[in-house]
Amino acid sequence: MSHKIAVVTGSNSGFGLLSSLELAQLGFKVIATMRDPDKGEELLLQAKKLGVEKSIEIQPLDVTSEVSIRAFSSRLIEISRVDILLNNAGFASGGFAEEVTIDEYRDQFETNVFGVMRITQVVLPYMRKQGEGKIINMSSISGRIGFPGLSPYVSSKHALEGYTESLRLELKPFGIAVHLIEPGSYQTNIWTSGKKVTPRSMQKCSPYYSYMKAINSEIQASEDTLGDPREIASIVREIALNKKKGFRIPVGKGVRLTLLLKTILPWSILENIILKKLGMKKSKEGRNSMSKAE
149, 96 contact by CB (below 8 A): yes
Over the chain (294 residues), the average pLDDT of each successive run of 10 is 85 96 97 97 97 97 97 95 97 92 96 98 97 97 92 96 98 98 76 65 85 81 77 97 95 91 93 86 51 38
Sequence spans of domains, the chain: 5-206+228-254
Task: Give the distance from CA 34 to its chain's centroid.
Answer: 14
pLDDT recorded at residue 279: 80
Burial (CB count <10 Å: 0-12, 13-18, 19+), residue 95: buried
Q: What is the pLDDT of residue 211?
A: 87
What's residue 217's pLDDT?
81
| Confidence at residue 289, expressed as pLDDT on a 0 to 100 scale | 46
Least Cα distance to 218 among 207, 210, 230 occurs for: 210
**φ, ψ at 208 (rounded to 5°):** -105, 10
Active-site residue, 105 included:
no
Catalytic one of 105, 126, 153, 186: 153
Residues 6+ apart with CB under 8 A from 175: 130, 131, 132, 133
| pLDDT for the residue 286 | 46
Position 1 scores a pLDDT of: 45
pLDDT for residue 131: 96
Name the residue among 91, 88, 59 with its Cα closest to residue 76. Answer: 59
State the pLDDT at residue 125: 97
Kindly indicate whether the domain formed by 5-206+228-254 is annotated with CATH number 3.40.50.720. Answer: yes
Angle subtended at Cα 137 by Cα 133 and Cα 141, rounded to the nearest 5 degrees:
150
Q: How far apart are CA 230 and CA 252, in angstroms?
A: 11
End-to-end C-alpha distance for the chain, whole angstroms: 57
Instruction: Categorise residue 252: left if φ over 0, alpha if ψ from -120 to 50, beta otherwise.
Output: left
φ, ψ for residue 173, nearest 5 deg: -65, -15
Q: What is the pLDDT of residue 201?
A: 75
Res 291: pLDDT: 41
Residue 85 has a pLDDT of 98
Report the pLDDT value the prediction gives residue 249, as an integer from 0 to 100.
Answer: 97
